[in-house]
């Protein structure tokens, strides 16, 4: 018997999805304003998040519920390593660490993986389906905004093992709808999906704060240069 979980997740996270899209960093990104330093920090955060999600899905792949969302072709770790190498160089591992918001997100994933694995469904749905649905649009924005050549720095958006994204999303939705879950578990998964959106928002807000700091530093630097010029002219 189908649970219609896919539709319930979509409808149950509509408000959270809208709120996430209205965070300043996301609005700037969608508007084509992308700061390369902030973007590479986002890539680093995503790396830690996806490593956690994929580790827990792998550990729990034989779980009665998690087995239905075990699709290794969705895994993003390798593509994120490609992007991190592009943005940070070969020693990228020594240059990145999880931000405060990222660590909270990662800890949440490991906690539910150990104690309530079926809630991993919420995190997989929130991240992977979002990436698959809007990935090519975001890739185009990133390439144009940061003037990236070829596919350098945008491997994250490429699902090479999924030739037909529309067909795959149908398979994924059907799989979600066939997971044997109680009404209580469904409600808990929808609640967790909203938490996942909130955790993503915290990361976007953190990045926006960093972007504002960078802009202030540039403004102060410009003002100092102007003062120096005026001092030289007066002399």
Q: Give the H/E segment covering residue 15.
A: helix 14-21
Rounded Cα distance, 139 and 155, in Å:
9
pLDDT value for 221:
46
Q: What is the pLDDT of residue 220?
A: 45
Residue of 67, 73, 72 whose CA lies nearest to 162: 73
Identify the residue with better confidence: 175 or 30: 175
pTM: 0.87
User: Which of 34-43, 127-136, 193-202, 206-215 has the least mean pLDDT?
Assistant: 206-215
Residue-level pLDDT at 208 = 77
Highest mean pLDDT among 145-154, 177-186, 225-234: 177-186
- Are 32 and 141 contacting, i.e. CB atoms less than 8 angstroms apart? yes
Tell me the domains of the chain and their CATH numbers: 5-234 (1.20.910.10)
Predicted confidence at residue 36, as pLDDT, reads 87
Q: What are 219's two structure tokens?
A: 């403004």
pLDDT tens by residue, 121-169: 999 999 999 888 888 888 899 998 899 988 899 999 999 999 999 999 9
- 91 or 230, greater pLDDT: 91
Identify whether the C-beta of residue 6 lies closer than 8 Å to the C-beta of residue 176. yes
Neighbours of 103 (CB within 10 A): 13
Between 226 and 38, residue with greater pLDDT: 38
Of 78, 72, 71, nearest to 170 by C-alpha is: 71
pLDDT in tens, 56-114: 999 999 999 999 999 999 999 999 999 999 999 999 999 999 999 999 999 999 999 99
- CA neighbor of 161 nearest in space, from 141, 122, 132, 126: 132
What pLDDT is stored for residue 216 in this prediction?
39
Query: Average pLDDT in the 41-69 region?
Result: 97
Long-range contacts of 102-105 (CB under 8 A, 24+ apart): 102/44, 102/45, 102/48, 102/49, 102/203, 103/48, 104/199, 104/202, 105/48, 105/49, 105/52, 105/199, 105/200, 105/202, 105/203
Q: How many CA atoms lie within 13 A of 1 on its CB side?
A: 4
Q: What is the pLDDT of residue 225?
A: 52
Token output for 54: 């994929």
């Amino acid at each position: 018997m189908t649970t219609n979980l896919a539709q319930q997740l979509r409808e149950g996270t509509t408000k959270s999805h809208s709120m996430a899209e209205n965070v300043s960093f996301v609005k700037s990104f969608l508007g084509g304003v992308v700061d390369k330093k902030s973007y590479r920090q986002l890539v680093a955060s995503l790396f830690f998040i996806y490593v956690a999600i994929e580790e827990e899905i792998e550990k729990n792949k034989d779980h009665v519920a998690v087995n239905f969302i075990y699709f290794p072709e969705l895994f993003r770790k390798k593509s994120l390593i490609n992007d991190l190498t592009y943005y940070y160089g070969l020693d990228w591992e020594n240059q990145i660490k999880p931000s405060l918001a990222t660590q909270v997100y990662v800890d949440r994933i490991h906690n539910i993986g150990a104690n309530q694995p079926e809630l991993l469904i919420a995190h997989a749905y929130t991240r992977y389906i979002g990436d698959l649905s809007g990935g090519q649009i975001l890739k185009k924005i990133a390439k144009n905004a940061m003037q990236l050549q070829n596919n350098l720095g945008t491997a994250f958006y490429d699902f090479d093992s999924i030739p037909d994204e529309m067909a795959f999303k149908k398979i994924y939705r059907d799989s979600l709808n066939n997971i044997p879950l109680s009404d209580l578990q469904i409600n808990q998964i929808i609640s967790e999906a909203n938490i996942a959106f909130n955790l993503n928002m915290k990361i976007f807000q953190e990045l926006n704060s960093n972007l504002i700091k960078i802009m202030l530093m540039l403004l102060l630097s410009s003002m100092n240069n102007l003062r120096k010029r005026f001092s030289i002219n007066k002399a």
